[in-house]
Structure 1
Amino acid sequence: MADVVREIERKYEAADGARLDGVPELGGLPGVASVVDKEPFELDATYYDTEDQRLARGHVTLRRRMGGHDSGWHLKLPADPKDPGVRDEVHAPMADELPASLAALVRSRLRGEPLLPVMRLRQRRTVRELRGEDGITLAEVGVDEVRAERYGPGGGTAEWTEIEAELGQGQDPVLLDAIDVRLRGAGLSRSSAPSKLRRALDETAPKAEKKAEKKGKKQRGKKGAPEPVPTAADVVMAYVRAQVTAIVELDPAVRRDVEDSVHRMRVATRRLRSAFRSYGAVLDRDVTRPVGEELKWLAAELGVDRDREVLTARLAERLAEVPRPLRLGPVSGRLRTFSHARRTGSRRHLLSVLDGARYLELLTTLDGLAAHPPLREKTAAKPPEEVIRKAVRRDYDRLAAHIGEALAAPPGDSRDLAVHEARKCAKRARYAAEAARPAFGRDAKLFASRMTELQELLGDHQDSVVARLALKDLAGQAHAAGEPSFTYGLAFGREREIAAEREAALPGLWAAITRDAASFP
Structure 2
Amino acid sequence: MRRRTGGADEGWHLKVPTKGGRDELRRPLGRATTTPPKPLRDLVAGWVRGESLVQVATVLTDRSPTQLLGAGGAVLAELTDDRVTASTPDGATVAWREWELELVDGATDLFDSADRVLATAGVGRAQQSRKVARTLGDRIPPAPRLRSPAAGKPVSRLVHARLVEQVGVLARRDVDARRGTEEGVHKMRVACRRLRALLATFRPTLDRDQTEPVREELRWLAGVLGQSRDATVIHERLRNLLADEARSQVHGPVLRRLRTTFEGRGRGEVLAALDSQRYFALRHRLDQLAADPPWTERADAPDRDLAPKVLGKELKRFRRRAEAAGAADQPEHALHEARKAAKRLRYAAEAVEPVAGKKARRLDRDAHRVTSHLGELQDTTVSRAELLAVAKAATAAGEPTFTYGRLHAREEARAGRLTTSFRVHRAVADLKARTRKARKAVRKN
User: Which residue in the other structure is 1:323 paired with?
Assistant: 246
User: Which residue in the other structure is 2:108 paired with?
Assistant: 177
1:90 to partner: Cα distance = 3.1
Task: Output the CA distance in 2 between the equivalents of 1:153 and 1:327.
Answer: 69
Task: Output the CA distance in 2 between the equivalents of 1:354 and 1:181.
Answer: 43
SS in 1 for 2:437: coil
TM-score (norm 1): 0.72
SS in 2 for 1:281: helix
- Per-residue CA deviations over 1:122-157 (Å, capped at 9, x if unaligned) read 22223346899xx9x987613222223343679452
Alignment of 1:39-438 (within 5 A): 62-81=1-20, 84=21, 86-94=22-30, 95-99=32-36, 100-112=38-50, 117-128=55-66, 141-151=78-88, 155-165=92-102, 167=104, 175-177=106-108, 179-180=110-111, 183-184=114-115, 186-187=117-118, 191-201=126-136, 230-339=153-262, 346-377=266-297, 379-410=298-329, 414-438=330-354
Two-structure CA RMSD over aligned residues (Å): 3.2
Pick one of 405, 408, 427 that aligns with 1:492: 408
Tell me if the contact between 2:311 and 2:435 (Cα under 8 Å) persists in the aligned partners: no
User: Which residue in the other structure is 1:471 paired with?
Assistant: 387
Q: Which amino acid aligns with 1:403?
A: A
Tell me if the contact between 2:18 and 2:172 (Cα under 8 Å) persists in the aligned partners: no
1:348 to partner: Cα distance = 3.7
Tell me if the contact between 2:58 and 2:86 (Cα under 8 Å) persists in the aligned partners: yes
1:162 to partner: Cα distance = 0.4
Structure number with higher helix proportion: 2
1:271 to partner: Cα distance = 0.8
Q: Which amino acid aligns with 2:432?
A: T
1:257 to partner: Cα distance = 2.5
Q: Which amino acid aligns with 2:411?
A: E
Structure 1's consecutive aligned runs of 4 or more residues displaced over 6 angstroms after TM superposition are none
Q: Which amino acid aligns with 1:434?
A: E
Task: Output the CA distance in 1 between the equivalents of 2:326 and 2:76.
Answer: 60
Task: Output the CA distance in 2 between the equivalents of 1:157 and 1:190.
Answer: 19
1:421 to partner: Cα distance = 0.8
Tell me if the contact between 1:478 and 1:484 (Cα under 8 Å) persists in the aligned partners: yes
Change (3 A) 1:93 1:142: same
Tell me if the contact between 2:176 and 2:183 (Cα under 8 Å) persists in the aligned partners: no
1:479 to partner: Cα distance = 4.8
Q: Which amino acid aligns with 1:180?
A: F
- Per-residue CA deviations over 1:488-513 (Å, capped at 9, x if unaligned) read 33322221222222223321444433
Shifted more, 258-267 versus 456-465: the winner is: 258-267
Tell me if the contact between 1:125 and 1:142 (Cα under 8 Å) persists in the aligned partners: no
Query: Does 2:355 align with 1:449?
Result: no
Unaligned runs of at least 5 residues, structure 2: 141-146, 440-445
Task: Output the CA distance in 2 between the equivalents of 1:331 and 1:421.
Answer: 33
Change (3 A) 1:399 1:199: same
User: Which residue in the other structure is 1:6 paired with?
Assistant: none
1:272 to partner: Cα distance = 0.7
1:118 to partner: Cα distance = 4.3
Change (3 A) 1:354 1:139: farther
Tell me if the contact between 2:192 and 2:222 (Cα under 8 Å) persists in the aligned partners: yes
Structure number with higher strand proportion: 1
1:337 to partner: Cα distance = 4.2
Percent of aligned pairs with the same amino acid = 34
Task: Output the CA distance in 1 between the equivalents of 2:226 and 2:208.
Answer: 25
1:179 to partner: Cα distance = 4.3
1:163 to partner: Cα distance = 2.7
User: Which residue in the other structure is 1:512 paired with?
Assistant: 430
Tell me if the contact between 1:75 and 1:89 (Cα under 8 Å) persists in the aligned partners: yes
Task: Output the CA distance in 1 between the equivalents of 2:253 and 2:5.
Answer: 57
SS in 2 for 1:274: helix
Tell me if the contact between 2:16 and 2:24 (Cα under 8 Å) persists in the aligned partners: yes
- Per-residue CA deviations over 1:277-334 (Å, capped at 9, x if unaligned) read 1111111222211111111111122222211111111111122222333333333233
Task: Output the CA distance in 2 between the equivalents of 1:491 and 1:131.
Answer: 61
Shifted more, 330-339 versus 260-269: the winner is: 330-339
1:415 to partner: Cα distance = 0.8
Task: Output the CA distance in 2 between the equivalents of 1:316 and 1:305.
Answer: 17
TM-score (norm 2): 0.84
Q: Which amino acid aligns with 2:41?
A: A
Task: Output the CA distance in 2 between the equivalents of 1:518 and 1:178.
Answer: 45
Task: Output the CA distance in 2 between the equivalents of 1:150 and 1:141.
Answer: 27
Change (3 A) 1:392 1:128: same
